[in-house]
Chain A
């Protein structure tokens, strides 16, 4: 079952902040975040494990609330290069791991 992402789209001016949310109805083993630019392959940003840890990558960070099965991606002081579609992928451990992606959040950063 696909995780639910919100919002579907965000338009920002350079330097503004954004939050993208991802929620699942199932108990999660981990949450992945990927960014895809138009016409390109998705590129890995970060993985979060259950336990509520928060990770960061430059000015992009994420959190994972295990109790609520929710993850949020925080983009701070957005840059033009942040534009793209962001996908969360969730893993429900059952022996083998499969990655199920949400429908994506389109982010457009304008000058």
Chain B
């Protein structure tokens, strides 16, 4: 049982480039989300999904797109990378959209935009 798998683990981008951070879970979880973690800021919600075909914005959505075509996958797209998007990105999944269930986190993607 792999849990939540994120790829890549590390990435360096040039300003203006685009890329997709991959996230996959094999626990049949309804709820998936993306967070970014910056020093002293904690984990901030970018986008989330409550099921296939349903996504919504979190606290810091600008510059990011998501889609959820299957229950398992929830990719995060950076449309035109900016230095302000240098961060560690975590994908998380939970069993239920109703809350009250633990979040399982992937190992993170460390992104540097130069």
Interface residues of A (CB under 8 A from B): 2, 29-30, 32, 34, 40-44, 47, 49, 87, 89, 91, 93, 96-104
Contact of A44 among B98, B103, B107 (CB under 8 A): B103
Query: Of B43, B104, B107, B108, which is in contact with the most chain A CB atoms at under 10 Å from its CB?
Result: B43
Consensus secondary structure, chain A interface? strand
Q: A42-B90, A98-B58 are in contact. Are A91 and B99 (CB under 8 A)?
A: yes
List of B residues within 8 angstroms of A30 by Cβ: 99-100
List of A residues within 8 angstroms of B105 by Cβ: 41-43
Q: A40-B107, A41-B108, A96-B56 are in contact. Are A102 and B98 (CB under 8 A)?
A: no
Q: A40 to B108, alpha carbons, bound, how many Å?
A: 8
Q: A47-B102, A101-B43, A102-B42 are in contact. Are A96 and B97 (CB under 8 A)?
A: yes
List of A residues within 8 angstroms of B100 by Cβ: 29-30, 47, 49, 91, 97
Q: A40 to B90, alpha carbons, bound, how many Å?
A: 10
Is B41 engaged at the interface, CB distance under 8 Å to the other chain?
A: yes
Closest 5 CB pairs of A and B: A97-B99, A41-B105, A103-B42, A44-B102, A101-B43
List of B residues within 8 angstroms of A87 by Cβ: 42-43
Q: A96 to B40, alpha carbons, bound, how many Å?
A: 27
Is B78 engaged at the interface, CB distance under 8 Å to the other chain?
A: no
Closest residue to A2 on the B side, CB-wise? B42
Is B33 engaged at the interface, CB distance under 8 Å to the other chain?
A: yes
Q: A1 to B5, alpha carbons, bound, how many Å?
A: 28
A2 to chain B, nearest CB (A): 7
Q: A32-B102, A32-B103, A96-B50 are in contact. Are A42 and B97 (CB under 8 A)?
A: no
B87 to chain A, nearest CB (A): 14
Pairwise interchain contact A41-B41, C-beta atoms closer than 8 A: no
